[in-house]
Amino acid sequence: MRGGFWRHFDFSLMGAVTVLVILGITMIRSALAGNFELTVTTPLVDRQIIFALIGFVFFLAAAGIDYRLWSALSNTLYVGIIIVLLALNVIGAALFGSARWFRTTLVFIQPSEFAKLVIILSLAHFFVQHMHEMNNPKWTIRSLIMAMGITVWVILQPNLSTSIVLLVLWFVLLWMAGVPIRHLLGYALAAGAALAIMFPILIQFQIIQDYQLKRIVNFVLPDPNARYGDIYNIQQALISIGSGGLFGQGYGHGTQVQLRFLKVRWSDFIFSTIANELGFAGAVLIILLVVFIVWRCLWAARVSRDTYGSLISYGVATLIAFQSIVNIGVNLNLMPATGLTLPFVSYGGSSLVANLIAIGLVESVIMRHKAIEM
């Protein structure tokens, strides 16, 4: 009877994700080809392909497993990811001064990418259990403590951008769980006031690093005469996007990309790479595919048979939408540089696998939104 669930598999969602992954690998190849880095960085393309294949295996596995099973395992996953992050901080501090990855012979594994999935599953489970008590601030505070139990170890790596993602997931899931808007506004104002008070302390203890402060300062008060330095990447990103025109300079022929003016062009600034070589048309295609994926996740949340499935889908939609908005916003100089990658497109094995698993969870919700037909 389990085969009946696959009747509701969302091929359009899988198709949009697959197109983004293929476009990402294709553009990573172009961003690396023809440069002096060729002998060193060519394996990045092969690695991304391998991670994509692994990710799609996990995607299908996550879709095939009843998403409600994760509710029973949420506490185990929560404790497990804290242990992994704690171990990473201890090992990283001892060996490298700081670390975000476990370094193996073949690949780097970034646990914070999988922490995003765990916080979605754990908070969804928590909110379902206390759905009718969310008007009581006690449960909001407990959910925040729960979220911070993971976030604090990510902050200490240090990885401020991912920490912000985790807190955004908490806030959105809190909203979707039914907390009144007036309460949310109050929490937001209180959080803003607390951050303003603690900002000097965060700087003093280097939780906020000097380079992160420089990014904010250069965004708010850019030096128009600066040619190199802290704003160089943003300047080159804007030039790359502007010089792409309507249809781009051609795959493998973007001057900003191939002459290496654009840095980190296979990861943080891959959107600028796409705009430079595929033009406005290519950039719009990427945006439309991301919007479609987010829309299907929101649709899954609406049709889910239970609140747990809805919260998972809302969480995944938030994750994909927020990271995409921030990454593209950075490329367009609409917000400070953060280091967040463009989901499914930027280079990054852990990010790609984690995002594919997230979509697999949404597929599991979609596949089970109706009873099996006899």
Q: What is the pLDDT along the chain (374 residues), one digit of tens a residue?
A: 445 677 889 999 999 999 999 999 999 999 987 554 544 545 889 999 999 999 999 999 999 999 999 999 999 999 999 999 998 887 765 444 456 666 665 667 889 999 999 999 999 999 999 988 888 888 999 999 999 999 999 988 878 889 999 999 999 999 999 888 888 888 889 888 888 888 777 777 666 666 666 777 667 767 666 555 557 888 899 999 999 999 999 999 999 998 888 888 999 999 999 999 999 999 999 999 999 999 999 999 999 999 999 999 999 999 999 999 999 999 999 988 888 999 999 999 999 999 999 999 999 999 998 754 43
Structural domain includes residue 350? yes
Cα distance between residue 15 and residue 25, in whole Å: 15
The answer to whether 269 and 232 have CB atoms below 8 angstroms apart is no
Cα distance between residue 185 and residue 197, in whole Å: 18
Q: Which two tokens stand for residue 183?
A: 């309460």
Query: Which burial class, exposed, middle or buried, applies to 4 when counting CB atoms under 10 A from its CB (0-12, 13-18, 19+)?
Result: middle
Place of tokens 């393309």: 45
Other beta carbons within 10 angstroms of residue 347's beta carbon come to: 26
Confidence (pLDDT) at 103: 67
Confidence (pLDDT) at 192: 85
The closest of 241, 221, 222 to 232, measured between CA atoms, is 222
Structural domain includes residue 74? yes
**Domain residue limits at 162:** 2-367
Distance of CA 23 to the CA centre of its chain: 18
Cα distance between residue 74 and residue 77, in whole Å: 5
Structural domain includes residue 374? no
Other beta carbons within 10 angstroms of residue 320's beta carbon come to: 23
The answer to whether 21 and 344 have CB atoms below 8 angstroms apart is yes
Cα distance between residue 319 and residue 172, in whole Å: 10
Which residues fall within 8 angstroms of residue 351, CB to CB, at 6 or more apart?
110, 113, 341, 343
SS3 109: strand
Other beta carbons within 10 angstroms of residue 62's beta carbon come to: 20
Cα distance between residue 118 and residue 130, in whole Å: 18
Structural domain includes residue 345? yes
Structural domain includes residue 185? yes
Structural domain includes residue 373? no
Please give the C-alpha separations between residue 261 and each of 40, 255, 278, 287, 330, in angstroms, as whole numbers: 18, 8, 17, 24, 17
The closest of 374, 371, 369, 366 to 9, measured between CA atoms, is 366
Structural domain includes residue 252? yes
Structural domain includes residue 203? yes
The answer to whether 151 and 197 have CB atoms below 8 angstroms apart is no
Confidence (pLDDT) at 39: 41
Confidence (pLDDT) at 101: 65
Other beta carbons within 10 angstroms of residue 270's beta carbon come to: 27
How many distinct structural domains can be found in the chain? Answer: 1
Cα distance between residue 254 and residue 84, in whole Å: 41
The β-bridge partners of 102 are 109
Long-range CB pairs of 367-371 (<8 Å, 24+ gap) are 367/5, 367/6, 367/8, 367/9, 367/10, 367/63, 368/5, 368/8, 368/66, 368/67, 368/305, 368/309, 369/8, 369/300, 369/303, 369/304, 369/305, 369/309, 370/8, 370/305
Concatenated DSSP letters of 19-76: HHHHHHHHHHHHHHTTSTTHHHHHHHHHHHHHHHHHHHHHHHHHHHS-TTHHHHHHHH
Q: With the CA atoms of 136, 141, 142 and 145 taken in that order, what torsion angle do they form, in degrees rounded to the nearest 10?
A: 170
